[in-house]
């Protein structure tokens, strides 16, 4: 697979030592499609294994998925035992994506904007550097239905904020705007919307100017203490599926209509 790539889910191009991925679609529904998921993972593995590439930039889709779409999606999937299997596949795919981002030697820069649901914040937290637009808002809409954030969010937040602040933040269920996200350390840079890609590229170029052994060594050491992330993600799956199977999630979504 070449590193210049055009797919139904994303486009990608190689810019010297940097691979840039732009998502055309949001990932939630696409993760139930084996072919789409495999195309993304195949590309990430190819970029990770390429000896020239030092940095991967992932740019979020500007058309955001809404809370109502998430509710409809999970209601559809949880309607039968087959649906539960599909939810498990989605959760496992998210686990694989988070672990792949964390385990690859390349530095991963994430750029996003707009109304961002907790899942995409959590995937962003798995990355090494985050750039967002100044109007970005991170949302936790599913907390009111009893679903914990998927994607290692609690794991990453507890590392960054400590357990007490993480608990306070999650129980509040409130939106987090760009300014607060920067203050909390959830993102590394806030720029005007029109400058997001430029800022991400500038960051990537600074990183790519360093020797690859230094880059990979820093990343490995930064994440050495997170060896239990895989076990956490599996346990997170179990907690989420228990809630969905119990009917608590469906009762919550019915009440919100």
CATH class of segment(s) 5-255: alpha beta
For 152, residues 6+ apart whose C-beta sits below 8 A from its C-beta are: 98, 122, 125, 126, 229, 232, 233, 236
Q: Degrees (nearest 5) of the Cα angle 234, 54, 50?
A: 80
* CB 41, CB 47: distance < 8 Å: no
Tokens found for residue 215: 């880059």
Instruction: Give the model's pLDDT for residue 207.
Output: 97
Position 217 scores a pLDDT of 94
Q: What is the mean pLDDT of residues 16-34?
A: 81
Instruction: HSE, CB side, 13 Å, CA atoms: give it for residue 78.
Output: 19
pLDDT for 110 beyond 70? yes
Chain mean position to CA 171: 21
What pLDDT score does 88 carry?
85
The pTM (predicted TM-score) of the whole model is 0.88
Give yes or no for residue 255 having a pLDDT over 60: no
* pLDDT at 4 exceeding the cut of 60: yes
The pLDDT > 90 percentage for the chain reads: 60
Whose tokens are 């999970």? That residue is: 74
Which pLDDT tens digit goes with each residue over 131-155? 999 999 998 876 666 778 889 999 9
Torsion of CA 52, 125, 203, 176, to 10 degrees: 160
* Domain assignments of the chain as residue spans, ordered by start: 5-255
CA distance 62 to 82: 31
Query: Which of 29-43, 65-79, 101-115, 117-131 is the least confident region?
Result: 65-79
**pLDDT tens digit string along 197-225?**
999 999 999 999 999 999 999 999 988 87
pLDDT of 75 strictly over 60? yes
Q: What is the mean pLDDT of the chain?
A: 86
Higher local confidence (pLDDT), 128 or 223: 128
What is the dihedral angle through the alpha carbons of 43, 46, 49, 54, rounded to the nearest 10 degrees?
A: -60
Question: What was the pLDDT predicted at 61?
Answer: 87
53-57, 135-139, 161-165, 248-252: least confidently modelled range: 248-252
Round to whole Å and give the CA distance between 123 and 233.
Answer: 12
pLDDT above 60 for 39: yes
Here the tokens at position 155 are 């794991």
């Amino acid at each position: 697979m070449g590193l210049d790539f055009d797919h139904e889910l994303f486009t990608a191009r190689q810019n010297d030592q940097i691979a840039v991925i732009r998502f055309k679609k949001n990932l939630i529904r696409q993760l139930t499609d084996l072919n789409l998921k495999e195309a993304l993972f195949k590309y990430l593995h190819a970029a990770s294994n390429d000896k020239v590439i030092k940095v991967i930039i992932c740019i979020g889709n500007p058309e955001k998925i809404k809370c109502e779409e998430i509710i409809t999606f999970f209601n559809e999937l949880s309607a039968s035992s087959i649906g539960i299997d599909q939810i498990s596949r989605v959760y496992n795919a998210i686990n694989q994506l988070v672990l792949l981002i964390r385990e690859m030697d390349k530095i991963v820069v994430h750029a996003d904007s707009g109304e961002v649901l907790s899942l995409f914040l959590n995937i962003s937290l798995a990355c090494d550097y985050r750039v967002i637009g100044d109007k970005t808002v991170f949302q936790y809409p599913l907390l009111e239905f009893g679903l914990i954030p998927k994607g290692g969010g609690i794991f990453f937040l507890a590392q960054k904020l400590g357990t007490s602040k993480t608990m306070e933040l999650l129980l509040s269920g409130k939106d987090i705007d760009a300014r607060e996200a920067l203050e909390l350390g959830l993102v590394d840079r806030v720029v005007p919307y029109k400058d997001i890609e430029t800022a991400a590229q500038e960051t990537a170029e600074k990183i790519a100017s360093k020797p690859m052994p230094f880059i990979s060594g820093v990343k490995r050491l930064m994440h050495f203490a997170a060896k239990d992330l895989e076990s956490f993600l599996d346990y997170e799956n179990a907690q989420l599926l228990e809630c969905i199977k119990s009917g608590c999630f469906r009762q919550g979504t019915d009440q919100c209509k």
